Amino acid sequence: MVNHPTRINKYLSDTGICSRREADRLIEQRRVTVNGIVAETGYKVILGDEVKLDNKKISREIDTRIYIAFNKPVGITCTTDTSISGNIIDYINYPKRIFHIGRLDKDSEGLILMTNDGDIVNKILRTSNNHEKEYVVTVNKPLTDEFMQNMSSGVKILNTITKPCTVTKKSKHVFKIILTQGLNRQIRRMCAFLGYNVTKLKRIRIMNIHLGDLPVGKWRYLSVTELDHLNSLLSSSTNTEEASW
């Protein structure tokens, strides 16, 4: 580590343990100490400080950055808390510490990105960066023109109106939707507001990364071309905070 103060949440994310948002949660839960003192949000560490998580010493390593595309199955929970049954970390069982970028709820499947790069997480997740995520959604009754119009123009959920988005009908009960927003369980809430229940939800794209024919439950490394394009898309993105995704 270079010899200048580093914010404790960035230090933790650089170890590959978690994202900065998760680091903030760990700090709030008083699970992180620096030189034996419980760390507080905004605390800075320097070279030689002893940082512990749950009383276990951790250190930041200079390591190869890992970027993985994973086809998450239904039933797997996006959490780095390995005490939770069916967590994504144990399921993938990658030999190095990685964490997920954003989330898919337990009942949803499809593309989720995994990494040990804490900086890229913030750039991808921050809502104001307007990065696209594409989903295929199946609902419990036939789609109507009114439903399609309302979904695309905005729906009132969580005390706000959702941003306009692209919605395309694929069949009687199936549509595609492209979001640039990341409200909690957004698609399910939007559909419920309009009187529909989601029976299947699958994410097929995040920005330029496509799920393609990757089998459910399997993962692959991002290609050099994908990473180059992704970095180009992120070049003007801010990374000062994370958004719910």
Report the C-alpha dihedral over residues 75, 77, 81, 84, rounded to 10 degrees. Answer: -30
Distance CA 178, CA 167 (A): 7
* Catalytic entry in 81, 90, 105, 117: 105
Q: What are the φ and ψ backbone dihedral angles of 150, each rounded to 5 degrees?
A: -65, -40
CA angle 133, 205, 237 (to 5 degrees): 50
Distance CA 212, CA 45 (A): 42
State yes or no: is 105 an active-site residue. Answer: yes
Distance CA 184, CA 172 (A): 26
- List the catalytic residues: 105
